């Protein structure tokens, strides 16, 4: 790594190595942007300001203040605690056999949500619904019947409700759609809103996503669960070793 000096601020030589180390601390998606000369110049200016303010802090004896000392001690405790906790969980690994076992035992978690696409005609009475169904059977297009008879605002779209999943419609309507066949007119189906004629056009979903698509997700979840378990066990052990006395609020 280059040790080329890029600037000298308050007597401190800022090298290309120092700049690159700072950029490496940015999230990966930002590091791509940071590779441009303009972005590097911006980071360099931040470093220059950082060292200038540090010199100011020294000159004004901020580094000798009690507030500064207290903050340093607090940061020392936080850093040491973080490093100790990390050392407890950083060794944890999960292999593919564990991932596949979890995948096999939790298929519902990886099943695509079932959705349906349907049109409907809503009328006030069962008699009218039967009449409209007869007209459709006689050749009247479902969409035209919706525009002519339906009291639902969807009539302007030929009764089209678009795609919806379970839980979005009233139970009677939902059951008719998801249990019904694609193609034939279903109904009349009575709900609190009236009587429906339903045309189910498509159903999709219900398939289990392949293991390869969810392996990374499973891996991360199992790692986090294992780390949490080990972490909590270690906290319990440390409580017994060093003692904890919890006071009532």
User: Each residue's pLDDT tens digit in the chain (249 positions)?
Assistant: 458 999 999 999 999 999 988 888 888 878 777 778 888 899 999 999 999 999 999 999 999 999 999 999 999 999 999 999 999 999 999 999 999 999 999 999 999 999 999 999 999 999 999 999 999 999 999 999 999 999 999 999 999 999 999 999 999 999 999 999 999 999 999 999 999 999 999 999 889 999 999 999 999 999 999 999 999 999 999 999 999 999 987
For position 2, what pLDDT does the model report? Answer: 57
Opening angle at CA 217, ends 214 and 218, nearest 5: 85
pLDDT for 36 equals: 85
The reported pLDDT for the residue numbered 126 is 96
Q: Which DSSP helix (H) or strand (E) runs through 179?
A: helix 171-179
Q: Is 91 exposed, middle or buried (0-12, 13-18, 19+ CB in 10 A)?
A: exposed
pLDDT of 134 reads: 96
Angstrom distance (rounded) from CA 4 to CA 115: 60
Q: What is the pLDDT of residue 213?
A: 94
Whole-angstrom Cα distance, residue 11 to residue 48? 11
* CB 37 within 8 Å of CB 45: no
Contact 5, 19 (CB under 8 A): no
CA angle 19, 22, 26 (to 5 degrees): 135
Query: What's the confidence (pLDDT) of residue 206?
Result: 87
């Amino acid at each position: 790594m280059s040790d080329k000096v890029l600037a000298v601020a308050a007597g401190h030589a800022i090298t290309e190595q120092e700049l690159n180390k700072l950029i490496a601390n940015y999230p990966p998606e930002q590091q791509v942007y940071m590779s441009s000369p303009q972005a590097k110049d911006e980071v360099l200016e931040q470093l220059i300001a950082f060292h200038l303010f540090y010199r100011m802090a020294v000159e004004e004896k901020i580094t000798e203040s009690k507030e500064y000392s207290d903050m340093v001690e607090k940061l020392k405790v936080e850093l040491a605690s973080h490093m100790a906790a990390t050392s407890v969980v950083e060794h944890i690994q999960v292999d593919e056999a564990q991932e596949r076992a979890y995948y096999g035992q939790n298929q519902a978690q990886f099943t695509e949500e079932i959705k349906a696409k349907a049109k409907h005609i809503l009328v006030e009475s069962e008699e009218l619904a039967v009449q409209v169904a007869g007209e459709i059977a006689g050749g009247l297009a479902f969409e035209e019947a919706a525009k002519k008879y339906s009291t639902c605002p969807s009539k302007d779209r030929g009764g089209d409700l678009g795609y919806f999943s379970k839980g979005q419609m009233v139970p009677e309507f939902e059951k008719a759609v998801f249990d019904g066949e694609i193609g034939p007119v279903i109904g009349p189906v009575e709900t609190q809103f009236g009587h429906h004629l339903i045309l189910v056009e498509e159903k999709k979903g219900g398939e289990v996503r392949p293991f390869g698509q969810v392996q990374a997700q499973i891996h991360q979840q199992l790692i986090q669960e294992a780390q949490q378990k080990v972490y909590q066990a270690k906290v319990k052990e440390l409580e017994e070793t060093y003692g904890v006395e919890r006071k009532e609020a």
